[in-house]
Structure 1
Amino acid sequence: MTVPLVESQSFPVELRPYLQELVRRVRSVCGVRVVSVFAVGSLALGDYRRARSDIDVTVVVDPALPDAAVLRLAEVLTDLECPAAGLELVLYDADVIGRRCDRAGYRLDLNTGPLLPHKASFDSARSPAFWYVIDRGVACQSGKLLYGRPVREVVAAPVFADQLAAVRASVREHATGAGHLADNQVLNGCRAIVFCRTGRWFAKRGAAHRIARAEPRFGPLVDRALRSFERPRAQNLSLPDSAVAQFLSWAGECVERAPRGSTDEFRSWGRSTQS
């Protein structure tokens, strides 16, 4: 039985059948233990790019869901042909995602699809926390509901200081270059800086346009990263290594300077960096 998507009009037409089938399989495996299913990432922020973006989905379940069902869910979703670059799905118990947390905290972290190395992790203690904190921050701000209870009823917004710490960690991780396309390194850096200046999550392209306007010295690099981001991953444009390294060094300095104190102090700092 096809399950209508709650916020159907929020998703690209070509993805709706896949998302409907994903929800159907989640419900088939997890039954009444499903609390909520929603999109984060580029789908939530309105910047999904065909042949480039992943489909990022969060599933929230009752903690009583048996481990065998979590294992089965990883199997049935791996078998589902993904029309995007890949599926990145994270499953949480409701009592974990429902409280503020600076840990990864998941029961399942599944990557599958044509352009993603397959991963099914069931031990969150082995994973760096920052990606999951960022995703939960995006969810509280912009998550798009597929099925179940509203996002803000089930997700507790991470503490703001924890989101800033996650941003800093993400920039440091991207600066290593390991496993990242150069255009995504630059655009993630832009998003991190804009978050540190505004306290809000922006899509990578929107953040990049802001940085290009505010920092003309990086305009050519950011523009090339944006043009590359419009292309399929296999056809990405090369970016000068030295320019990328210089940008990421500057981005790291920017996010490290963001105040760790009160929200008022942060907002004052953010206004001063945009003047």
Structure 2
Amino acid sequence: MAHPREDPPSLPTELRPYLEELVRRTRAVCGPQLVSVLAVGSLALGDYRHGRSDVDVTVVVEPSLPGSALHDLARVLAHPQLSCPAAGLELVVYGADFAIRPSGAAGYLLDLNTGPLLPDRADFDAARSPAFWYAIDRSVAHQTGLTLFGRPAREVVAAPGRPELLAAIGASVREHGDGEGHLADNRVLNGCRSVVFCRTGRWLAKRAAAREVALTEGEFRPLIEAAERSFERPRPSALPLPTTDVRAFLSWVRAQVERTAAGV
């Protein structure tokens, strides 16, 4: 890794060459206007599963980086030009002036999705996207982001304020409650992670959060354990879960989030 801040053993072996090349290409495109490259999501939370997880990356740049460079970055990082060994790459670029301010807005300069199991998407207009995903990701980045290049995560990415963050969590639970485009196991495990955050103010990996909720909520334990078993499998072979049970669980999760938000 070019000038890494993280000890390489903290990164999965399957991803190290890919992340090295991603950092190299990002530095080549952004030059001195690159502030940080951060691993977030399952990598930051220590729960990356090869064949199932995406590679989640946050890039922070100086606001003066020209728009043409953002288009160049999307091009050179797109799969298969840069072959992604994971299910996909979800990379978000923020201006440093936005990233350092607590905000519930989307606020990105580039949102790139690419990879063997992701539909290609390169979006440069944050106003067109639901804000909640990005607010949650920045909260995770602030808490546990792994610095691949540049300044540490806590120096460049602020977490949204608690009211904005709880509103984002509520929106994410409603999104998963609808179920459109989401694997059932991921809907359940994300629900567990949301509940644990409401209880503790900390983000846990999905499976660790699932174990905590299963210990205290016996009614939902069989569903949560089934979701964990499914999560062990590659995406194409995920196990079906009872639709009624998933909806009931997410309705309960939504109530927990709303109760927590009401007490802020």
For this structure pair, what is the TM-score category when the shorter chain's length is used for normalisation? over 0.9
In the alignment, the residues of structure 2 paired with residue 147 and residue 107 of structure 1 have an alpha-carbon distance, to the nearest angstrom, of 19
How many pairs were matched up? 261
Matches within 5 A, 1:72-221: 72-78=72-78, 79-221=81-223
Deviation (angstroms), 1:165: 0.9
CA RMSD after TM alignment: 1.0
TM-score for both structures, normalised by structure 1: 0.93
In the alignment, the residues of structure 2 paired with residue 146 and residue 223 of structure 1 have an alpha-carbon distance, to the nearest angstrom, of 34
Deviation (angstroms), 1:261: 4.6
Partner of 2:4: 5
Unaligned runs of 5+ in 2: none
Deviation (angstroms), 1:4: 4.6
Deviation (angstroms), 1:228: 0.2
Deviation (angstroms), 1:231: 0.2
Return the letter of the residue paired with 1:18.
Answer: Y
Matches within 5 A, 1:64-79: 64-78=64-78, 79=81
Return the letter of the residue paired with 2:131.
Answer: A
Cα deviation per residue 1:52-108 (whole Å; 9 max; x = unaligned)? 000000000011111000000000000210000000000000001011111000000
Unaligned runs of 5+ in 1: 263-275
Partner of 1:269: none
The 3-state SS of whatever aligns with 2:85 is coil
Partner of 1:267: none
Q: Label 1:55 to 1:215 Cα distance change in 2 as closer, same or farther (>3 A).
A: same
In the alignment, the residues of structure 2 paired with residue 153 and residue 221 of structure 1 have an alpha-carbon distance, to the nearest angstrom, of 39
In the alignment, the residues of structure 2 paired with residue 156 and residue 141 of structure 1 have an alpha-carbon distance, to the nearest angstrom, of 9
The 3-state SS of whatever aligns with 2:122 is strand
Deviation (angstroms), 1:211: 0.7
Q: Label 1:221 to 1:261 Cα distance change in 2 as closer, same or farther (>3 A).
A: closer
TM-score for both structures, normalised by structure 2: 0.97
The 3-state SS of whatever aligns with 1:111 is strand
> Could you tell me whether the CA contact under 8 Å between 1:4 and 1:20 is conserved in 2?
no
Deviation (angstroms), 1:156: 1.7
The 3-state SS of whatever aligns with 1:90 is strand
In the alignment, the residues of structure 2 paired with residue 157 and residue 243 of structure 1 have an alpha-carbon distance, to the nearest angstrom, of 33
Runs of 4 or more consecutive aligned structure 1 residues displaced over 2 Å after TM superposition: 259-262
The 3-state SS of whatever aligns with 2:185 is helix
Matches within 5 A, 1:40-59: 40-59=40-59
Return the letter of the residue paired with 1:45.
Answer: L
Return the letter of the residue paired with 1:6.
Answer: R
Cα deviation per residue 1:172-207 (whole Å; 9 max; x = unaligned)? 010010000000010011111111111111111000
Return the letter of the residue paired with 1:75.
Answer: R
- The alignment status of 1:20 with 2:20, answered yes or no, reads yes
In the alignment, the residues of structure 2 paired with residue 179 and residue 212 of structure 1 have an alpha-carbon distance, to the nearest angstrom, of 25
Question: Identity percentage over the alignment?
Answer: 63
* Residue of 231, 250, 254 corresponding to 2:233: 231
The 3-state SS of whatever aligns with 2:4 is coil
The 3-state SS of whatever aligns with 2:92 is strand
> Could you tell me whether the CA contact under 8 Å between 2:163 and 2:261 is conserved in 1?
no
> Could you tell me whether the CA contact under 8 Å between 2:99 and 2:158 is conserved in 1?
yes
